Amino acid sequence: MFRNNKVAWLFVLPALAFLVVFKIWPIGVSVIESLTTTSFTGVKSFVGFENYEYLFKYDPVFWKSFSVTLIYSIVVNPLIVLTSLLMALLLNSSHFFTKFFRTVFFLPAAISFAVVSVIWMVMLDPYNGLANSFLTMFGFKPQPFFASPNQALWGLVLLNVWRSSGYWMMYFLAGLQNIPETLYEAADIDGASTFRKTFRITLPLLTRTISFVLVANTAFNFLSFAPVYIITKGGPMGSTNLLMYESYKSAFVNLDMGRASAITTILLGIILLFSFLELRFTRARFEY
Amino acid sequence: MKKRSPWKTLVLFAILGIISLFFLIPLIWVIASALRPASPLYEYANPLTWRTFVPTNPTLENFVHIFVNLNFGRALMNSLLVSVSTILLTILVASMAGFALAKFEFRGKAVLFTIVLITFMVPFESIVIPLYILIKQLRIDNTYWALILPGVANGLAIFLFRQFFSEVPSEIMEAARIDGASWFRIYWKIAIPLSVPAIVTVIVMVFMFQWNSLFWPLVATHSSRFEVVQVAIAAHRSTENTSWANLFSSAIAGSLPPVILFLFLQKYFVRGISGTGLKG
């Protein structure tokens, strides 16, 4: 370690400027803006917690959006942890084909959410989509998918599982490589089955990775925007109106920056809460 | 090596094969459809036959159309310009900060490091609306700057460089210092050339972020001059009657750069992941 305050600060100054202007300051703007309202004449005035009060007390659209976001999170996050963990366990051996499948599973993560949305919008198209072709081939009735208020959210869940499972799988594969081989060798000598080894060695030792992926993925999914914007526009009947999209509409369609900022601030609070959980779960890993 | 039973291997292969169908079928279908003439794009979607997945008279006319008539090339160039500028600025700014954080003891370091950690916990999407208010105040809305600058504020990149430089021995730098080299020279001639793996990781990370972003460009710009790839793709959808041919072909053309990058630099994708705190 060198000691030189002046030189060190010259090196960090550009980065600090960027972080303060484009990260810290917007967080402040979000909070301040959420405490104001803009009249029709464009005059901004301070209103305290009125925007929040209104959201929680008198705003059924917000509540609907809030509950949709919550349901979406509660379903999609554990599901992705499950699928990605399962894929990682299946790929945690070295065969000649392991690398190929790893690439295939991870491939959707290289594609943007906008394109993934386009792909699943047409896959689940009620008239021309392949999903219905498969259903009818196996003798099931074709489904409306994104056209139905009961199914649209599940379409988004499916889309997200397709796009994100391979990505989080890579975290689990990294975690699996940290488990010492000797533990499995010892278990082999004792004649343990694969099933037993998975539940007695692998999963317990993977707890921290599982919590990390769950928490990081949850924070990430609270911010889903592209699929809603491209496929459903929040509909049908508000069934896919996730908070991020609701705040976008509030800001750029209804031009109500106060309400939009209040929703953003609520989201930020949730994300930060999850980030602190994330830090707690992974604290030991930050020591090098 | 322990011996594996061939049956187990075969079962594993079969299971993995079935899962990969779930990932590959949508991709193959969309690619096959984009290679068909525009009018009967959906002709073979139902019932399923081999023709669903293999275009019988493959043609590139849909792709020619989006480039010649819809100026998709401009969107690609815009995305390229924004991505490359963000990458260059991020590498410079983040590596300097990472260098100081790894090699210097200075007043305020703990506070600074906390700021870095907090900022990489705040995902970009969560501050899009306040950022929009900010760039309007700075009068840079609807410019390339609006697309580039916010992407440079990247705590994770600083963190990656800091981790990397921590492992470079200080002795080389001490020796250079004794020889009379300036700190900037040490950073530029010793630290940077040694940090190629960190640089490539940051290139991959920033490129994927900028190339694939939709929300921010949608909010920050409104002239078609500044239209980036994802916005151009999404625009085919928001018109009253969606042209599937345009949508499919632009989606594929727009995905080629990140997919190619992914196939060649796979290990750096993984390195970016393990850099987030779960070091493998």
Q: What is the pLDDT of residues B176-205, one digit of tens each?
A: 888 888 889 999 988 899 888 889 989 998
- Predicted pLDDT at A287: 36
pLDDT beyond 90 at A5: no
Which residues does chain B have within 8 Å of residue A146's beta carbon, measured at their own beta carbons?
A: none
User: What CATH number is given to the structural domain containing B226?
Assistant: 1.10.3720.10
Which one-letter DSSP state was computed for residue B124? G
Residue B279 lies inside a defined structural domain of this protein: no
pLDDT beyond 80 at A254: yes
Which residues does chain A have within 8 Å of residue B219's beta carbon, measured at their own beta carbons?
A: 248, 252
pLDDT beyond 80 at B71: yes
- Predicted pLDDT at B240: 65
Whether B77 and B46 share a structural domain: no
* CA distance to partner chain B, nearest, from residue A50 (Å): 19
Which residues does chain A have within 8 Å of residue B116's beta carbon, measured at their own beta carbons?
A: 15, 19
Nearest C-alpha in A relative to B112: A16
A87-103 pLDDT, tens digit each: 999 998 888 888 899 99
Residue A76 lies inside a defined structural domain of this protein: yes
- Predicted pLDDT at B41: 61
Whether B20 and B145 share a structural domain: no
Whether B224 and B133 share a structural domain: yes
Whether B103 and B194 share a structural domain: yes
Report the share of chain B in percent with pLDDT over 90.
39
Whether B47 and B136 share a structural domain: no
Among B41, B59, B77, identify where a domain stops: B59
Whether B86 and B220 share a structural domain: yes
Whether B88 and B210 share a structural domain: yes
pLDDT band, very low/low/confident/very high, at A288 (cuts 50, 70, 90): very low
B113-154 pLDDT, tens digit each: 888 888 877 888 888 989 999 999 899 999 999 999 999 998
For residue A54, the tally of other CB atoms under 10 A from its CB is: 16
Residue A67 lies inside a defined structural domain of this protein: yes
Torsion of CA A29, A32, A37, A38, to 10 degrees: -40
A141-150 pLDDT, tens digit each: 888 899 899 9
pLDDT beyond 50 at B279: no
pLDDT beyond 80 at B56: no
Whether B160 and B48 share a structural domain: no
Q: How far apart are CA B201 and CA B268, in angstroms?
A: 5
Whether B52 and B141 share a structural domain: no
Burial B164-194 (b: 16+ CB within 10 A, else e): bbeebeeeebeebeeeebebeebbeebbbee
Q: Which residue has the higher pLDDT, B46 or B214?
A: B214
- Predicted pLDDT at A63: 92
User: Best interface-test mutation with B: which of A12, A16, A99, A278 has the largest number of B CBs within 10 A?
Assistant: A12
- Predicted pLDDT at A196: 86
Residue B124 lies inside a defined structural domain of this protein: yes
Whether B52 and B166 share a structural domain: no
Residue A41 lies inside a defined structural domain of this protein: no
Whether B25 and B158 share a structural domain: no
DSSP string, A188-207: HHTT--HHHHIIIIIHHHTH
| Nearest of B23, B21, B19, B43 to residue B33 by alpha carbon | B43
Phi, psi of B37 (to 5 degrees): -55, 150
pLDDT beyond 70 at B280: no
Q: What is the mean pLDDT of residues B78-98?
A: 96
pLDDT beyond 90 at A13: yes
DSSP string, A226-260: HHIIIIITT-STTTT--HHHHHHHHHHTS--HHHH
User: Best interface-test mutation with B: which of A1, A2, A208 has the largest number of B CBs within 10 A?
Assistant: A2
Q: Report the residue from A20, A103, A223 with minimal CB separation from B125.
A: A223
pTM, two decimal places: 0.89
Whether B35 and B85 share a structural domain: no
Mean pLDDT of chain B: 86
Q: How far apart are CA A197 and CA A191, in angstroms?
A: 10
Which residues does chain B have within 8 Å of residue A110's beta carbon, measured at their own beta carbons?
A: 208, 255, 258-259, 261-262, 269
- Predicted pLDDT at A285: 46
Q: How far apart are CA B192 and CA B189, in angstroms?
A: 6
Q: How many domains are there within chain B? A: 2
Nearest C-alpha in B relative to A267: B126
Among B59, B77, B98, identify where a domain stops: B59
Q: How many domains are there within chain A? A: 1
Chain A, chain B: beta-carbon pairs less than 8 Å apart: 292
User: What CATH number is given to the structural domain containing A174?
Assistant: 1.10.3720.10
Q: Which of A11-15, A186-190, A211-215, A274-278 has the lowest mean pLDDT?
A: A274-278
- Predicted pLDDT at B239: 54
Q: Which of A39-53, B106-120, B160-174 has the lowest mean pLDDT?
A: A39-53
- Predicted pLDDT at B40: 61
pLDDT band, very low/low/confident/very high, at B174 (cuts 50, 70, 90): confident
Q: Are B165 and B202 in contact (CB under 8 A)?
A: no
Range of the domain at B110: 69-274
- Predicted pLDDT at B237: 80
Residue A177 lies inside a defined structural domain of this protein: yes
